[in-house]
Structure 1
């Protein structure tokens, strides 16, 4: 299979929404891509629409139930801070970067989710120091390409302020520019999170979110210039995408409070989960309910009774629920007992104490990152909840398409580099390509 480009640069602007298009059209570098390339007006995300599930769907072309990354974090009820799906081993099947490397091309990734310990030539994975004794730089070095990361930290580490934004994305930007100029990879995947952070903290249309979009335009301009400075502009394709949108909310739902009352959860003296028969695992705008024993029909009946009472209560914050089989039909984790969808204005927390519904204030958000004023994770079927895709350069038809799915992106990117992801849930967007 012939490849359509020598260098594919995939830039993920986390939480970039289809609703952001009017702003993007007025920004010079986004405007340049829109005028000279292709644009998909509405990209349907996956369920649950959380970052790690979405980014894995992008590089596999499959729904979460198939690739296995069905949430950001692991099911660890007794842990105050659960671990995330950081590692490549969490993914079932092949990925875009696996196939590109198998074809003898070079690969690079900067803070791309679920790439820890991946077989990527130049890899700085997104992974956090999640234990008190861990050091962030050492954790990153151990799970990516040590010499490459050490070089980036020596050159640009002074820019970063731990994981705070916008400094983190400024560090990633300089690392991206440097990687393009010095490594010239055939595939480069970059993940920026400034916009997602601002929307969580301040709301979807906040001044802070708009400022982050403008910063992203500046970052895009510097990346485009680096392609010219590196001498690969004419042989490159650049892709800009979002993984999900977001919705404003100010009320948190805590189903585990009700499961505790039903004796489906027990706690230790320190207030943490000691044992459980049923547990609600948050995906922010949606949530899974798992049974410890999938054959425990008594607990299943109890949970269903609780959910039925909530569905009949207009103030419960729960819009609908699915069985595990119904969740699998929508691409989510079929091993759950139920999957809950929040009404607009609500999202889920895993707290087991306190009131069932908590109103979130600005002070709450400042005090604890689990509280937000806008979030994602909702069903892709929510109205005005699509994300966006733009591409320009080699192999790209300058067309506007009304719709595609997030799972169509991976097969399309693979085709650009002349490789295949095999049989996938998604399909190649042939109208987007000059084949």
Structure 2
């Protein structure tokens, strides 16, 4: 029996509308012609990279994975640490299921996989700026600290020489694709995940649709060709399926507001004369186009009702850019989102949220932070341009077009292609597999 191989490429922020251009490119065009697709895929809430990528690995929404935002809730810290370690995911992943079935696994800069070597044989994790801090003169140490597989250190060392250790695009993407292709050539894993983010980066910096975004799609096509060439060079092209998917779309924004300034003015946040946070009764964590509002004592019904009334009054004032105030129970029922917060603010679609509690409530756009550029995400999944998914290979029937799917279907699709059991996945496998 021939071994099966699956390459999964998550092209961050790729949407269905991009395919009109993408189909003119060599590799995207090949997969779209020879494979099948789900045109539009509904993602999870919040539509943020790390929560979605945890859901892609598990087939479960954020309330089950525990990855409810990109960053942890750390009030008073405007540089909150990111969720990025595999152990932070509260349920099993496709890597665990594949290993249990005796398959080999690989991941190259896929979010929330750091220190995941117990179930990922060939791991190059996403190394964040906080991980690299203090190791700029010896960046390989940051990779070792975050769990890079020892057998890959020579590949990573070469990539560092070629592309540097920063998180700037497209060098960041060149680094990971070089590593991913080398991993496939050398070790031939049954399952390989990787995550180029150049398209997402260009949308944040320049807006939803323009020539610079198209240029990033063209570069991504070249990177996918590099991965496919690695399969061909190892003689495994006819035994390898490739899936191209995306995590979320984006919405164009025109401003940023600070709900914590509102909460401070309403008496729920206290700060000293230097604006250092002293105490808080209610505090909002920015998720880009949504925000999660935590209470110091969520069991206090008087506080709960007071904050809810205040947030509803804020939402009624259009200056605050808030379309809706959800309760925790409402987002759990609607989207499977659950956590320690009590409320979720949903933006009006043109306003992003900041964590700031000091200074003006309204801010200009700032491309130094993904939440505050010309476009961003974190919004309700039914809004705006939708992510897409298409696939090609021996397990994929040709020419099937599915109009609508759900991102929780993807993990079940991976499992079906690999021929493994993964019953926790809440979705169903794509019908063309």
Task: Specify the TM-score bucket, using the shorter chain as the normaliser.
Answer: over 0.9
1:309 CA displacement: 1.4
Note if 1:70 corresponds to 2:74. no
Note if 1:365 corresponds to 2:367. yes
Q: Is the 8 A contact 1:81 1:130 kept in 2?
A: no
Summarize the Cα distance change of 1:129–1:186 in structure 2 as closer, same or farther, 3 Å threshold: same
Q: Is the 8 A contact 2:94 2:411 kept in 1?
A: yes
The secondary structure found in structure 1 opposite 2:247 is: coil
1:38 CA displacement: 0.9
Summarize the Cα distance change of 1:365–1:163 in structure 2 as closer, same or farther, 3 Å threshold: same
| Match in the other structure for 2:126 | 126
Q: Is the 8 A contact 1:397 1:432 kept in 2?
A: yes
Note if 1:403 corresponds to 2:404. yes
Paired residues in the alignment total 425
Q: Is the 8 A contact 1:239 1:389 kept in 2?
A: yes
Note if 1:424 corresponds to 2:425. yes
Once structures 1 and 2 are overlaid, which stretch shifts more, 161-170 or 237-246? 161-170
TM-score w.r.t. the length of structure 2 is 0.94
| Match in the other structure for 1:156 | 159
1:218 CA displacement: 1.1
| Match in the other structure for 1:248 | 252
1:268 CA displacement: 4.3
Matches within 5 A, 1:7-22: 7-22=5-20
The secondary structure found in structure 2 opposite 1:79 is: coil
Once structures 1 and 2 are overlaid, which stretch shifts more, 290-299 or 265-274? 265-274
Note if 1:231 corresponds to 2:235. yes
Summarize the Cα distance change of 1:305–1:237 in structure 2 as closer, same or farther, 3 Å threshold: same
TM-score w.r.t. the length of structure 1 is 0.93
Tell me, in whole angstroms, the C-alpha distance in 2 between the residues paired with 1:23 and 1:182.
33
1:335 CA displacement: 3.4
Q: Is the 8 A contact 2:78 2:355 kept in 1?
A: no
- 1:145 is aligned, of 134, 144, 148, to 148
Summarize the Cα distance change of 1:23–1:278 in structure 2 as closer, same or farther, 3 Å threshold: same
1:35 CA displacement: 0.6
Tell me, in whole angstroms, the C-alpha distance in 2 between the residues paired with 1:92 and 1:286.
23
Matches within 5 A, 1:28-427: 28-118=26-116, 119=118, 120-130=120-130, 132-133=133-134, 135=136, 136-161=139-164, 162-329=166-333, 330-360=335-365, 364-365=366-367, 371-382=372-383, 384-398=384-398, 399-427=400-428
Q: For structure 1, which runs of at least 5 residues remain unmatched after alignment?
A: none
Instruction: Describe the superposition over 1:211-236 as per-residue Cα deviations: whole angstroms up to 9, x where unpaired.
Output: 11010111112221111111111110
1:139 CA displacement: 2.5
1:270 CA displacement: 4.3
Q: For structure 2, which runs of at least 5 residues remain unmatched after alignment?
A: none
Q: Is the 8 A contact 2:259 2:320 kept in 1?
A: no
